[in-house]
Each structure stands twice: as structure tokens, then as C-alpha cells.
Chain A
Amino acid sequence: MSRRQRCFPIGRFRPCDQNRIMAAAAAVRSSMGLTLRLSRVIPDCSTCPLYKSKSCVNSVANLQRRSSFDSFRTINRHLQTSIGLYHSDEGSSNAEDPEDVVNVVYIDRSGQRIPVKAKVGDNVLYLAHKHGIDLEGACEASLACSTCHVYVSAAHFDKLPEPAEREDDMLDMAPMLQENSRLGCQIILTPELDGIELTLPKVTRNFYVDGHVPKPH
């Protein structure tokens, strides 16, 4: 495995925006009061059509310049992520284009409603982290866990693109799976999703001490 991220361009989203992902991860850490730590990851742009047609604004030169704000570095961090991780740059909230705003409501595990003003292109998992919402993302959006499991409001569920087979495979492992279950890390906000409500499953204290049906491992 090399020090690269696989790039899978989808539609209008820039797939290889490593530093933005890292900035979001940093927002996770700081919003939770944990130590800020950023990693330097070098993306592999060679497979991306935007790069090939020279329409990518995130040239390596730009990334290197921006990465100077990394206070901490780890060498050789291999970030294995899934597609569609683009989210809007929280740094540049100067001109908030009203057409870009997506209103989202998170309903946390205690039932509390938390309205959030998001942008088109935001990733539901990282958006939650940015606002201090208790949604874990153990595998960091690489479709290797089900900790970002959310229930999607009925009115918006069908507006989401069909889950990839790999997402369905991981959803199968989530406790309290419902018809409207999705993995938060795979939901990218679009204008049609305005008003979407995302409920965090109440994972109840039903852990067995009496040798109940075992879960796979």
C-alpha cells in the first residue's frame, strides 16, 4: 500500500481533497475537546479526470501551500477511505450562497433535535462531528464498520442514491437495522435533501450476560 488515496471521481465533487478531509477530522477532534492532530497525506491525482484535463484547482502546489498550517505531522499515514468524501470548506463561509444551504436536523440518542445549517456537498458524518454530534466514524468513512448508522427521514430516504453493495454489507451488521437505515459517511448533501432529518439509533443496554445469540466477529 503506498502513501496514496484511491480517487473515484463522482459528478461534481472533487474526490481527492485530502486536506479538507483532514481539516474536518481536525474539527472532529477540536469540537470534542480532544487534541488537534493533522496528518499529511499525499493524494494520487493521476487517475482523476479533473486533474488530467487540468481543471482541478487543488493542484499539488496548492495543497502543499495549505498544508503549512498542519502543526503536527505523522509520517506515512495511510488513509484508506471510500468514495464521495468531498465536503465543503468550512474555512470559506464568507459568501453563503442561499442555494447552497441545506437545512439538516440531527436527532441525537436522547431525542434532542439539533438543527444544522449545512452546505451542498457536505458529508453527513463529518458534518455531525463539526457540530459535536455523537456519531462515531470508527473506520473513517471506508465502509469497514457500521458506527455511523443513521435513520433517514421518510421524505428524503428515496432521494438518496442507492447504497453500494459494500454499504449494504456493512449495514447488515448494524444493530437495530430499519428500512430507512443508511451509513452517514455515505450521505452527501444535495439541494433536494433540504430538511432532511437524521436520527441516531438508540443503542440500548441489551448486552447479554447469559449467553444469548452471539454476534459475528
Chain B
Amino acid sequence: MHQFQTGLGLYFRLILSFDSAGLREQRIASLHSCSPKVCIVGGGPAGFYTAQHLIKARQDVEVDIYERLPVPFGLVRFGVAPDHPEVKNVINTFTQTAKHTRCSFYGNVNVGKDVSVEELQRAYHAVVLSYGAEGNRSIGVPGEELTGVYSAKDFVGWYNGLPSCRELSPDLSCETAVILGQGNVALDVARVLLSPLDILKKTDITQPALEALTGSQVRRVLIVGRRGPMQVACTIKELREMVNLPDTRPEMVVSDFEGVTEALKDLPRPRKRLTELLLKTALETPGEKEQERRNKASRTWGFRFFRSPVEVLADPERSRTAGVRLAVNKLEGSGERARAVLTGEVEDVTCGLVISSIGYKSLPIDPSVPFDSSKAIVPNTMGRVQQASGLYCSGWLKTGPTGVIATTMNNSFDTARSLLEDMDSGTVDVSAAKSGSHIISSLLEERGVKPVTFSDWEKIDNVEMRRGEAIGKPREKLLTVEEMLRVARTVTEDKNVISY
């Protein structure tokens, strides 16, 4: 026995029929390769950043990313405004991750419907939920269901080509649009509504949206918030873009800014710079050149502060929105924690378009996953899902739907660190081999689900870029899942597809 165990290697061990349990385990392990296998649900920034960190930290980790749509990148593709292409550069980083040998992308797989989280947990050592926030907070006022009222999430999805928002067909035949909410998404919507078409037509905004905006009669956009200038949730970059938007002029209510100048000196730098720009735009008498520019502008935009919606008013036939009733607030307290309190006064604003930009919201996708409905997140501690072992979360699902890509990046790295710690400590047992995608692929095949691989996505990517090139845009997005799948399934360079 001794002579076989030294120097003669595995071959002889395999041949010997009286191998012990230990030797049998070794043989099985070498066949299945005992690398930790992690499954990530959601192919947006959170999913990709979590994958990136895991792959970099351990040379043996294999990561599979499952995404419901045939196309990856989540809000980077469907949320970032078309005129912010630099923000989308992060796609290059995600592409590197997806093409890594230890990473696989499986698009067109609906976790919760095509495969359950429990099945994923059985197949993988750990599952990270990174599916973000696909719902939105409702305003909660009468008239919300009238034609002409849309959530910013849907409006943004519409102009960015999200398949589920394709039929939105927003009516842009009114003069005034009211946006509820004063965050960056609200400003994105305002900017897209008022941008000169010359600018928009060179972006990756969808062609139907471009056509609708070409025929748009919207000339005035009011961005309404419950609290005051010092509580706006947008950031200075987006505010500057509004201030500098060609062919537009700002229209603010001077009295909204009472007391703001005095409060400036105590503000932290980011809030201070933002407030200074707001003040300047609202109060300062513009120089001659700027005044001339404003006089010639054909479109206006402005913030309206201390206003909460209480009703969306209907036109006489109750067929569509004709205006919005706003309650007037006053502030109690100051700074970030100031609260809006009703004064009893109301004010009606005529408008034909109401876009509510008051927040996205995560939804539960699988009953086996704990979900906190009041906060709309998966309850967790540092990314470890509470009362569930081997289950983690990252991105907006973990912390709530606020934060830019950089925030999500840090958030996802933190979750990856928690998982890595757990693998090191044995809390997640990686000694037992798991079959990962092998078993999931079989399950999906049985159920008639055919995943889209990353190289399938690249076919879609190429078709979109070629279509865009023909009309001077970076890409012309495919607008339906059916189209995406058709292109994904092409085997060779199909001429018909490319000259679509």
C-alpha cells in the first residue's frame, strides 16, 4: 500500500479497487473541481461590481450572473440619461468582468419564475441578490390614475428603451409639465423634455421618443418639492446642466429663498455649493449677455418649493389630467431633517403632464426570501440577509433606491467582502463541491428557457451600434424582448438582421 501512495500518483490510486472513503472523495473532488461557486441575481451595476470584487479577491471563485432581460447592465442602460454617455463608460468595466474566464452571464432568465432562489441556493455556495428596484412609490392622491400622469421610472424607461415601457406613449401636447420630486431623476426628465432636439438626436435616446419629443408642445416645466431650496435632493452637476440648457430660462419664486443666504455659511461644502448656484440662478440679476439669452429663450423651467400634491385634477370629461392641486407647506426644523408641515392653503397649477419622481421601490421576487415591505428592502446586516444562510444582497435592494453608481460600487464591494469573510471563516462551507450552472442549465432547459450568453448580447450590441451609426447616434436600441432574442439567436452574420 505504502509504495502506491508515494510517487505513483493518482493513476494507481484510481486503479486500486479497495480505495478508502478518503481516496474516493479526492477523486470526486478532482472531477467536480472544488471551487466556490457564487450566483448573482441581477445584471446591473450592483451585480457586476459584486462579481468583480469576488473574482479579483479569490483566484478560485466562479461567478454566474443571472439577468431577467436578454441584455445586461440594468439602470446604466435604462436609467442613465441619454445625454450622459460618460456615466455609461462603466459598461467597459462590466464587460471585462463578464468576459473573465471565471464569470458567466445568463440573460433571459427570470429568477422567481423560471428558477427559484431555493434552487439556486442548492446549486451554489452562495447567492447574492442584486436585482434592484423595479417598482415605484405611488403619490397616493386621487386622480393619480388619470391619463397624463406617469412615474418618472416609466418615463425614463420609455425614452431609454426599456421593453416594458415601450407602449407608454406619453401625451406631450400640453404647454406645462409638472414634475413631483426634486432629485436627479426629476432633473433628467426636465432636461429631456426641454433639450434642443439637435442635442438629443445625437444620443442613444430611442427613435420613438425622439419623434414624440419633436412633436412635443411642452414649453414649461415646474419641478415641485415639499420642502425648501436647502433640501433639494439633486446634485450640482445636474442643476448646472439645467441652468446652462440652451434656449431655456429659469423661472423661480424669489420669496422661496428667504433666509437662505444667511444660512449658507454653516453648510457643508457640497450643500453650500449647490445652494449658492440655486441662489445665483434665482436671485442674481443676470449680465447683459445672459439676459439677452434668457429673453430669446423659448422654454422655461423652475423649482417650486414648499408644495405637496393633494390631488390630480381632471378635465371636464375626466379623461385626462388638467392640473394638479398643491398644498402649501412651511418648514419645521432646518437642514436635512427639516419637515414639511401643511399650512392649510392650497394652490392649483394648470398642466397636462404630471410626472412623479418620488422614488423607485424594490419588490419581492421570491417568497422564500425575507422582505421588509415597509422599507422595501431585503433585511440584512452588511449585505448578509438576515435569517438566511448563504444568501446576500447588494445594491439598491440592500440599502434602498438612492445613490449613484459610485455608491452602488462601494455597497457591492462591501457585500463581496462579507461573503469572502464568510467563505474564509467556514460560515459558507466551500469544501463541498456544488454543481452551479450545470444543474441550473438543465433545469432551465427542461422548462423551455434558453439563456442569452454574453456573446449573444454582443450580437445585440453590434446590431444596435450599426443601426445607430447609420443615423449619427451611438446606438439605436432594440425595443422588444422578441427582437433582442431573435438577434441573440442568430448563428452567423445574418445580413437581414444587420441592415435592420
User: Which A residues are closer than 8 A to B by beta carbons?
Assistant: 1-2, 25, 29, 32-35, 37, 75-76, 78-81, 136, 138-140, 142-147, 165-166, 168-170, 172-175, 177, 203, 205, 207-209, 211, 213-217
Q: How many B residues face the partner with a CB closer than 8 A? A: 62
Flag if B99 contacts A175 (CB, 8 Å). Answer: no
Q: Which among B86, B269, B381, B400 is the interface contact of A142 at CB below 8 angstroms?
A: B86
For the complex of A and B, 9 pairs with smallest distance between CB atoms: A142-B86, A172-B270, A144-B86, A214-B402, A140-B89, A80-B86, A138-B90, A169-B237, A144-B87
Q: Which among A76, A138, A168, A173 is the interface contact of B89 at CB below 8 angstroms?
A: A138
Flag if B99 contacts A37 (CB, 8 Å). Answer: yes
Scoring A2, A34, A165, A177 by chain B CB atoms within 10 A of each residue's CB, the highest score goes to A34
Given contacts A32-B56, A140-B89, contact A216 B202 (CB under 8 A): no
Flag if B399 contacts A147 (CB, 8 Å). Answer: no
Chain A residues near B469 (CB, 8 Å)? 76
Closest B residue by C-beta to A77: B92
Q: Which among B85, B87, B382, B410 is the interface contact of A203 at CB below 8 angstroms?
A: B410
Given contacts A139-B89, A172-B274, contact A76 B377 (CB under 8 A): no
Given contacts A175-B410, A177-B269, contact A144 B89 (CB under 8 A): yes
Given contacts A78-B474, A216-B234, contact A173 B404 (CB under 8 A): yes
Min CB distance A41 to B, Å, is 12
A-B contact pairs, 23 of them (CB 8 A): A1-B474, A34-B100, A75-B466, A76-B465, A76-B474, A138-B90, A138-B93, A138-B409, A140-B92, A142-B89, A145-B406, A166-B237, A169-B237, A173-B270, A207-B382, A209-B379, A215-B402, A216-B233, A216-B234, A216-B402, A217-B185, A217-B401, A217-B407
Min CB distance A149 to B, Å, is 8
Complexed CA–CA distance, A172 and B275 (Å):
12
Flag if A209 contacts B234 (CB, 8 Å). Answer: no
Q: Which among B96, B203, B403, B465 is the interface contact of A29 at CB below 8 angstroms?
A: B96
Complexed CA–CA distance, A140 and B96 (Å):
14
B356-408 at interface with A (beta carbon < 8 Å):
375, 377, 379-382, 398-407
Q: Which among B183, B203, B400, B411 is the interface contact of A216 at CB below 8 angstroms?
A: B183
Min CB distance A117 to B, Å, is 24
Flag if A145 contacts B87 (CB, 8 Å). Answer: yes
Min CB distance A142 to B, Å, is 4
Report if B95 contacts A (CB, 8 A): yes
Given contacts A209-B399, A215-B403, contact A34 B97 (CB under 8 A): yes
Min CB distance B67 to A, Å, is 20
User: Which B residues are closer than 8 A to A by beta carbons?
Assistant: 55-56, 59, 84-87, 89-90, 92-93, 95-97, 99-101, 183-185, 202-203, 233-237, 240, 269-270, 273-274, 336, 375, 377, 379-382, 398-407, 409-411, 413-414, 462, 465-466, 468-469, 472-474
Chain A residues near B235 (CB, 8 Å)? 169, 172-173, 216
Flag if A172 contacts B236 (CB, 8 Å). Answer: yes
Complexed CA–CA distance, A177 and B90 (Å):
22
Flag if B56 contacts A33 (CB, 8 Å). Answer: yes
Q: Which among A1, A173, A213 is the interface contact of B85 at CB below 8 angstroms?
A: A1
Q: Is the interface of A mostly helix, strand, loop or mixed?
A: loop
Complexed CA–CA distance, A166 and B244 (Å):
13
Chain B residues near A79 (CB, 8 Å)? 89
Complexed CA–CA distance, A81 and B55 (Å):
27
Flag if A139 contacts B269 (CB, 8 Å). Answer: no
Chain B residues near A2 (CB, 8 Å)? 472
Flag if A80 contacts B407 (CB, 8 Å). Answer: no
Min CB distance B476 to A, Å, is 12
Complexed CA–CA distance, A33 and B399 (Å):
30
Flag if B399 contacts A168 (CB, 8 Å). Answer: no
Complexed CA–CA distance, A168 and B379 (Å):
35
Chain A residues near B411 (CB, 8 Å)? 207
List 7 additional contacts besides A1-B203, A78-B474; criterion CB under 8 Å.
A76-B468, A136-B93, A138-B89, A138-B406, A139-B90, A168-B273, A216-B233
Complexed CA–CA distance, A168 and B237 (Å):
10
Scoring B234, B400, B472 by chain A CB atoms within 10 A of each residue's CB, the highest score goes to B400
Q: Which among B89, B184, B236, B472 is the interface contact of A217 at CB below 8 angstroms?
A: B184
Chain B residues near A165 (CB, 8 Å)? 240
Scoring B56, B101, B405, B469 by chain A CB atoms within 10 A of each residue's CB, the highest score goes to B405
Flag if A209 contacts B99 (CB, 8 Å). Answer: no
Flag if B273 contacts A172 (CB, 8 Å). Answer: yes
Closest A residue by C-beta to B415: A207
Flag if B269 contacts A172 (CB, 8 Å). Answer: yes
Complexed CA–CA distance, A216 and B237 (Å):
11
Chain A residues near B183 (CB, 8 Å)? 216-217
Closest A residue by C-beta to B238: A216
Chain A residues near B382 (CB, 8 Å)? 205, 207
Given contacts A37-B95, A205-B414, contact A143 B270 (CB under 8 A): no
Closest A residue by C-beta to B45: A138
Chain B residues near A25 (CB, 8 Å)? 92
Chain A residues near B56 (CB, 8 Å)? 32-33
Min CB distance A79 to B, Å, is 8
Scoring A25, A33, A143 by chain B CB atoms within 10 A of each residue's CB, the highest score goes to A33
Closest B residue by C-beta to A144: B86
Q: Which among A37, A139, A172, A174 is the interface contact of B87 at CB below 8 angstroms?
A: A139
Chain B residues near A80 (CB, 8 Å)? 85-86, 89
Closest A residue by C-beta to B336: A213
Complexed CA–CA distance, A139 and B410 (Å):
15
Complexed CA–CA distance, A217 and B234 (Å):
7
Chain A residues near B87 (CB, 8 Å)? 139, 144-145
Flag if B233 contacts A211 (CB, 8 Å). Answer: no
Closest A residue by C-beta to B417: A205
Complexed CA–CA distance, A71 and B472 (Å):
27
Chain A residues near B86 (CB, 8 Å)? 80-81, 139-140, 142-144
Chain B residues near A81 (CB, 8 Å)? 86
Closest A residue by C-beta to B399: A207
Chain A residues near B95 (CB, 8 Å)? 37
Complexed CA–CA distance, A34 and B59 (Å):
11
Flag if A214 contacts B400 (CB, 8 Å). Answer: yes
Complexed CA–CA distance, A214 and B407 (Å):
11
Chain B residues near A205 (CB, 8 Å)? 382, 414
Flag if A37 contacts B96 (CB, 8 Å). Answer: yes
Chain B residues near A142 (CB, 8 Å)? 86, 89
